Chains A and B, each alone.
Chain A
């Protein structure tokens, strides 16, 4: 354990960068706090409750290129013409995917326990058999410095879903604000080598104070099915920002993209997909399974609670409250799923 000043904290970040990490931390930009790569001009922010984006934007980036390949498409005056490459014909082209695995040296500096819990959830999803090779490569050697959270705002409810503590093995450093300085505790060998200390310490974690606490009744699918969200969703504009800011929403779409300037270079990319959009559940022939916004809202709730519980044994909601705080209509699902107890 060490008591460090503000400058020494910044020194830790520089030391991490010297060791080859891309350090990502909360920083104010345009009136909101975001997780951003910490560089010379980006100032670390330690007085914040929530960040607009979350670790998923770095571990599972949007529009990630999976591989590239060559096609024989050409642009003609009447549009795009795709001539399929012929294997034993005049142009012997087969699809050769060009691919390089991502470099995994990310350090999250100063994220709250709820976000660390979201990394655990993404791990459960992406590393379960078969592991996602892109996520795995990014995840390897991940460094996490947790900034302990004292008090949540009116949208926080991490205690209600059991995500107020950092899961075992998910922190290298614990940072706690104390007066003008910070108390930094090493929680892993990497963390102690950074502090130039010996050994790993167990600490009593700060349990954040919550303004509101809830009791959720969402363990099984039926209980969600029986409820009617029509009143709650009256103001929903289907902007799907709830799924964009959610740290555990990982649903994605896989697309082949190319520029019309050079259609022969095709990129296979993975982009974000939101279950709040109709195309999420459309299949060939025009069948859509989740047709109304009420059904799609219930689907999000089901994926977060009963489905995640069944598949991975943990809650898919980490209680960060981002989906409520960044919703233009402030749609609050908490009273829909349960009741307020404190």
Chain B
């Protein structure tokens, strides 16, 4: 083996430290990095390699203050995600990354944040939520509006309670059971309850159609396009902009130019489904 300059295609070793069940379909893997540290910011993603199965991109859901560990929240959907649900503490995995452009958290400081997440989209924003809670004094009002279909789909249920002590948390269900006592309806129905000021910023992640409609509503309500941030999803393969699998309209690579885009950079009409 020859030592060469940095090769972004080679995975680095990690092992599963703990597995947390978040919902029926979702688990959070806590990974310990073996002899390396990950420097990252909220919004970036890694490629998780499961030996013998394959590789898939996941947003980092843990706080950047712990560079020795990474947490990935994984919903059971395809080959790699299903295999990930069989992982047990001690299992070896590989990590490539972190890749991508993070949220510009430095420029978020001193602002009021509106964080809108639907479904598993909250996984991509948990890192940012933890970051704002850890640096609570740097931010103004922080509101999390989280929508899901069923109560079983809600992830981070325990954490939502502890987050609610530090930031405003609004949870809404679009198809609640009769027992549900909280808010009902889609996230777009509850955007009116959030006060938007000149100092406000919005961060959105969810299914493509929801992201676009939320972004449009917020812009109609007076937010500037550059102050609305979306975390886009594509199936990134290489992570460094060489395979062009994650290209979105406008010719941007989600892995390199994103996954975080401001609504001013991309054409909202085109990026939906």
Contact assessment for A263 and B52 in the assembled complex, using a CB-CB cutoff below 8 Å: yes
**For residue B241, which residue of chain A has the nearest CB?**
A128
Tell me which residues across on chain A come within 8 A of B64, comparing CB atoms: none
Please tell me if B197 contacts chain A, counting CB pairs below 8 Å: no
Contact assessment for A94 and B251 in the assembled complex, using a CB-CB cutoff below 8 Å: no
Please tell me if B245 contacts chain A, counting CB pairs below 8 Å: yes
Contact assessment for B83 and A252 in the assembled complex, using a CB-CB cutoff below 8 Å: no
Contact assessment for B51 and A95 in the assembled complex, using a CB-CB cutoff below 8 Å: yes
Against A, the Cβ 8 Å flags (1 = close, 0 = not) of B102-136 are 00000000000000000000000000000000000
Contact assessment for B75 and A284 in the assembled complex, using a CB-CB cutoff below 8 Å: yes
> In the bound complex, how far is the Cα of B78 from the Cα of A273, in angstroms?
19
> In the bound complex, how far is the Cα of B241 from the Cα of A302, in angstroms?
17
Given A100-B2, A310-B251, also A94-B243 (CB < 8 A): no
Contact assessment for B240 and A132 in the assembled complex, using a CB-CB cutoff below 8 Å: yes
With beta carbons under 8 angstroms apart, the residue of B10, B56, B235 that contacts A99 is B10
Against B, the Cβ 8 Å flags (1 = close, 0 = not) of A267-286 are 01010010000001111110
Within 8 A of B (CB), among A80-117: 82, 84-89, 93-101
Please tell me if A49 contacts chain B, counting CB pairs below 8 Å: no
**For residue A256, which residue of chain B has the nearest CB?**
B54
**For residue A66, which residue of chain B has the nearest CB?**
B9
> In the bound complex, how far is the Cα of B256 from the Cα of A128, in angstroms?
11
Interface pick from A1-9, A68-76, A186-194, A325-333: A68-76
Count of interface residues, chain B, beta-carbon cutoff 8 Å = 52
> In the bound complex, how far is the Cα of B244 from the Cα of A306, in angstroms?
15
> In the bound complex, how far is the Cα of B238 from the Cα of A250, in angstroms?
12
Shortest beta-carbon distance from B251 to chain A in Å:
3
Contact assessment for B90 and A86 in the assembled complex, using a CB-CB cutoff below 8 Å: yes
Contact assessment for A253 and B51 in the assembled complex, using a CB-CB cutoff below 8 Å: no
Tell me which residues across on chain A come within 8 A of B1, comparing CB atoms: 98-100
User: Which of A96, A137, A256, A303 gathers the greatest number of chain B CB atoms within 10 Å?
Assistant: A256
Could you name 19 residue pairs across A and B whose Cβ atoms are closer than 8 Å? A72-B51, A73-B52, A84-B50, A85-B91, A85-B92, A87-B13, A99-B10, A100-B1, A125-B242, A133-B7, A133-B9, A137-B4, A221-B249, A250-B243, A251-B245, A256-B55, A273-B237, A283-B234, A289-B273
15 further A-B contacts with Cβ under 8 Å, apart from A86-B92, A87-B34, are A69-B51, A82-B53, A87-B13, A96-B13, A99-B1, A100-B2, A126-B242, A128-B241, A221-B250, A252-B243, A254-B238, A264-B52, A281-B234, A287-B208, A311-B251
For the complex of A and B, list the 7 residue pairs with the smallest distance between their C-beta atoms, beginning with the closest: A307-B251, A71-B52, A84-B91, A71-B51, A87-B15, A73-B52, A284-B77
